[in-house]
């Protein structure tokens, strides 16, 4: 099985001259997620934290309701790729097979396992009941701390990260991947396997905020998502529907709150332009 990072020799042209030099790059590997021997989705992913990926993908895509519904996970080399064989307990497998029968055929990357507009626009889990709020300092610190929890990005400059920030504790878990959805799925799996309640903090991501990222953050149970880049309009509407605070374009001490600013503590809400 390949390591997640590879050293490649390239020709580097700089002001001081041109020379051959090594550069560390992230691997990108086709990873199949299979249930009961049948492939459900194939993602281009970093070959790391694959058990977290299996659990997180299964949770955020609604295949399982809890990690306890997974009986076994086996990771196998499959040619140039990796096959994650996931065996579900009987009740979860019955539910999953019923869902598969409603699908017309195989799918690729993106909204995995989805063949209809209705499935793509599924109702997002509500996090409105979460009794948590964040200060401006929390938001700034969360993004700053995540930037220090990205060893693969530090070496390559080519991977996304997703972290979980708990006020007073900082980033308690972080995962990286060449795919932004994969990084968030791996984070979801890490949190579930560690027994960390998603309502305790905020999801922090290095990418733009698409509707899938909001859906996955809501599946984790997080009432807030902080991002370095901008959201889509649908992501904002979905976060608003879910009761989720959506903060984006976090740059230094500056940020924009797009949904549920009431989760911004006290007078800090008055400082958001």
Active-site residue flag, 109: yes
What is the token pair recorded at 178?
């060449």
Give residue 109's region: left, alpha or beta (phi > 0; psi -120 to 50): beta
Q: CB-based contacts of 178: which residues, under 8 Å, 6+ apart? A: 26, 27, 28, 44, 45, 46, 158, 159, 160
What is the C-alpha R_g of the chain?
19
Which listed residue (109, 114, 121, 199) is catalytic? 109
User: How far is Cα 136 from Cα 173, in angstroms, rounded to an integer?
Assistant: 21
Q: What spatial distance separates the first Cα and last Cα of the chain, rounded to whole Å?
A: 49
- Of 149, 186, 180, the C-alpha closest to 48 is 186
Write the DSSP assignment of 151-206 as a string of letters: HHHHHHS--EEEEEEETTTEEEEEEEESSHHHHHHHHHHHHHHHT--GGGSEEEES
Q: Which residues have a catalytic role annotated?
A: 109
């Amino acid at each position: 099985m390949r390591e997640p990072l590879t050293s490649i020799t390239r020709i580097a042209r700089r002001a001081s001259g041109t020379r051959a030099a090594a550069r560390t790059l992230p691997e990108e590997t086709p990873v199949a997620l299979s249930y009961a021997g049948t492939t459900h989705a194939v993602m281009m992913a970093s070959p790391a934290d694959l058990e977290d990926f299996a659990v997180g993908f299964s949770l955020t895509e609604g295949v399982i309701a809890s990690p306890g519904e997974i009986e076994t996970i086996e990771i196998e080399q499959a040619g140039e790729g990796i096959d994650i064989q996931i065996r579900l307990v009987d009740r979860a497998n019955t539910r999953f097979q019923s869902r598969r029968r409603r699908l017309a055929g195989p799918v690729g990357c993106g909204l995995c396992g989805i063949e209809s507009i209705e499935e793509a626009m599924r109702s997002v889990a509500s996090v409105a009941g979460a009794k948590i709020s964040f200060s401006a300092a929390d938001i700034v610190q969360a993004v700053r701390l995540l930037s220090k929890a990205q060893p693969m990005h530090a070496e390559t400059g080519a991977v996304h990260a997703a972290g979980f920030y708990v006020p007073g504790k900082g980033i308690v878990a972080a995962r990286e991947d060449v795919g932004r959805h994969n990084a968030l799925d791996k984070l979801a799996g890490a949190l579930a396997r560690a027994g960390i309640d998603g309502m305790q903090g905020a999801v922090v991501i290095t990418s733009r905020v698409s509707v899938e990222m909001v859906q996955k953050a809501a599946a984790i149970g997080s009432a807030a998502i902080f991002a370095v880049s901008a959201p889509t309009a649908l992501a904002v509407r979905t976060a608003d529907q879910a009761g989720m605070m959506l903060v984006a374009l976090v740059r230094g001490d500056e940020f924009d709150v797009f949904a549920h600013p009431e989760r911004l503590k006290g007078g800090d809400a008055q400082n958001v332009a």
